[in-house]
Amino acid sequence: MSYSYNTDKAEVMVNPVAPPLDDDKPEKEYKPVHETHMGVNGDAGSGEVNPADEYIAIRKQLKFPVDKSPGVAMAFLLGFQQYLIMFGPTFAIPVILSPSLCIATNVEAKGQLLNTMFVMCGLATLLQIFFGTRLPIIQSGSYVFFAVAAGIMSKSPCQKEYFVQDENGNNVTQDWDPNWHKRMAELQGNLMAASVLQMILGGFGLVGFLLKIIGPITITVLISLIGLCLAGVAAGSASQNWGIALLMVALVTLFSEYLKNVPVPLPYVTYSRGSGAKFQVAWLKLFSTLSIILSLIIVWALCGILTATDTFAEGNPARVTDLKKRIDEASWFYFPYPGQFGTPIVTVGGFVGMVAGVIGGVIESIGDYYACAKLAGAPPPPKYVLNRGILLEGVGCFLTGLCGPGVGVTSYSENIGAIALTKVGSRTVILCSAILMLIIGLIGKVGIFFASMPEPIIGGMYLVMFGIIAAVGISNLQFVDLTSSRNVFIIGVSLYIGLVVPMWAEKVMADDELKGAIQTGNEEFDQLVAVILTSGMIIGAVIACFLDNTIPGTDKERGMESYKLATKACSDKALLEKIYYEPLMEKAAKRFPGLRRLPFVNGFKGFSM
């Protein structure tokens, strides 16, 4: 799960002239087998709504539920909207990663990472749509891996200058590492190795067991520390020009919060044989959906004006220079391919760190599956669907590691939130969005264009996004009893140690006189220790998980009951198969019934949650 700029997700009014469902014929209403209202434990008369009844009520409110299509043209329009929602945070991922790779000033390299990121997100989304959960979930880069990547790269800090030879054989200096492919290969190899574990979790049905030991307290600490530990990155970029960075923050806040409910007229033309072409206007709430893009355009244009008038002096990081030249020199198309950055490298420390990132992504995705199913008009996903989703997410992470850009993918919650506001839960829409990701990702000039953005603008984006990440982590405490001194102790100690230890470790590794403090004589073990000590996310989450499972506390006190309530399933088996039917596996299982024993095939029982 990745995080965006706006906790209200996207707000937009769907085009009122979308084609009717099945020629205006009412959709068949699915009746639950048990019409009585059941409690958590199945007690009649408890006053709680049967999940099947709740599902039907939500489905009736949707314009297009998960298994209905709005038509090709409308599907691509709504898919483009979903693409815009995930664009800003996804674009930021390779840019944030570039300093650790020592290519912060290498526009061409950052452009390659950007193109690769969008292509891999599109490919991973297609895998989920066709073979995974079959829910309308976009797969995007996960911020969980950033702290891990920083820890892996910290063993060899970037130099201020690198010596290279120009085309005439003369020695020259530059400020980015010409051998950065080796650093990327290490991230890729460790991600690929860790993603195998994720495939095992889904393929062997171990997801339920994992949810028994990792609860809201651990997730709170893990996610919050991602945002908090990246504070130094945000400060470094924003401090290059605080005026531009804070203007970016102000505009994103204005659009996403103060103007989020202000509709904007959007003209469009419809055509029919009977009435011909008609000019109409739809009122869309675009400010929230496009808050980052609108802010980027305004601030970037302002930087261009201040550069052209020499208000920004030479050397000012906010200057816009050589943008046209860089775009002209870039190729029209860029095709990512396996091993494009070299042969993947696996290390002990890097693997352990990536495993922590993978487990964090798995836990987040499970929550996303339930939320998406509910909002898209689908019954809660059965165990075999959860396993299938995590298995295919592992495949997506493996492919992302194989091609780049060094971080894994996971379900994207902001796009799920948009379903509740648009009342469109069609997986056809997400399919169109994935196609757009692939097409735009293959256009090389797009990557170069965004990679040329001045650093202070990016710093402003960081200030908003990293803050939201920390807040999203804290929001998981809504399931936890905060009047319990037990919970307050665990959360406070885990967060604080997760912040303090990396500060000390980074100081040790930056000081030649102190490096011996974590040297044991075994290079692989030293790297493992370095990755763990510099990854506050790992330290805090491990401490929180240990304390949460060893200090006495009830499930209600710990917030674990939220998982149990979410897994109550609809009793209509025909409906479950209609929504979650995966043709390839089902056809194979009919021919070979023994496949029904596999945890990701319909018929598997698995662990209880």
Closest CA to 303 of 240, 254, 236, 232: 240
Counting residues of the chain whose pLDDT is more than 70, the rounded percentage is 83
Q: What is the mean pLDDT of the chain?
A: 80
Q: What is the mean pLDDT of residues 56-82?
A: 82
Q: What is the mean pLDDT of residues 484-497?
A: 95
| pLDDT band (50, 70, 90) for residue 192 | very high
Q: Using CA atoms of 419, 420, 422, 427 in order, give the dihedral in degrees to the nearest 10.
A: 20
Q: Rounded to whole angstroms, how far apart are CA atoms 440 and 449?
A: 12
Q: What is the mean pLDDT of residues 485-501?
A: 95
pLDDT at 510 over 60: yes
pLDDT at 403 over 80: yes
Neighbours of 74 (CB within 10 A): 21
Concatenating the DSSP letter of every residue in 514-542 gives: TGGGG--S-HHHHHHHHHHHH-HHHHHHH
Q: Rounded to whole angstroms, how far apart are CA atoms 552 and 486?
A: 8
Higher pLDDT, 59 or 38: 59
Residue-level pLDDT at 52:
53
CA atoms within 13 A on the CB side of 468: 23
Q: What is the mean pLDDT of residues 63-69?
A: 85
Closest CA to 212 of 464, 451, 548, 440: 548
Residue-level pLDDT at 459:
87
Counting residues of the chain whose pLDDT is more than 90, the rounded percentage is 24
pLDDT at 486 over 90: yes
Lowest mean pLDDT among 47-61, 144-158, 503-517: 47-61
- Taking only Cα atoms into account, the Rg of the chain, rounded to an integer number of angstroms, comes to 25
pLDDT at 487 over 70: yes
Q: What is the mean pLDDT of residues 73-86?
A: 82
Please provide residue 68's backbone torsions phi and psi, each rounded to the nearest 5 degrees.
-115, 145
pLDDT at 15 over 50: no
Q: What is the mean pLDDT of residues 261-271?
A: 76
Q: What is the mean pLDDT of residues 408-423?
A: 78
Cα–Cα distances in Å, from 514 out to 156, 507, 523, 525?
A: 15, 8, 17, 17
Summarised one tens digit per residue, pLDDT across range 273-291 is: 677 677 778 787 778 767 7
Concatenating the DSSP letter of every residue in 404-470 gives: S-SS-EEE-HHHHHHHHHHTB--HHHHHHHHHHHHHHHTBHHHHHHHHTS-HHHHHHHHHHHHHHHH
Higher pLDDT, 174 or 346: 346
Please provide residue 70's backbone torsions phi and psi, each rounded to the nearest 5 degrees.
-85, 5
* Residue 244 in tokens: 């531009």
Q: Tell how far CA 105 is from the center of its chain.
A: 25
| pLDDT band (50, 70, 90) for residue 271 | low
Higher pLDDT, 81 or 14: 81
pLDDT at 12 over 70: no
pTM: 0.77
Summarised one tens digit per residue, pLDDT across range 323-362 is: 777 787 778 999 999 989 889 999 888 898 898 888 888 8
Neighbours of 96 (CB within 10 A): 24
Residue-level pLDDT at 512:
55
pLDDT at 595 over 50: yes
Closest CA to 432 of 37, 15, 70, 190: 70
Question: Tokens 């990512």 correspond to what residue?
Answer: 336
Higher pLDDT, 51 or 524: 524
Give the best-scoring range by mean pLDDT among 266-275, 356-365, 551-560, 585-594: 551-560
SS3 550: helix
Residue-level pLDDT at 42:
40
Eight-state DSSP code of residue 477 = G
Question: One-letter amino acid identity for 549?
Answer: N
Closest CA to 399 of 152, 127, 599: 127
CA atoms within 13 A on the CB side of 356: 32
3-state secondary structure labels for all residues of 112-155: HHHHHHHHHHHHHHHHHHHCCCCCCCCEEECCHHHHHHHHHHCC
Q: What's the sign of the alpha-carbon dihedral 548, 550, 552, 556? A: positive
* Residue 447 in tokens: 């990557």
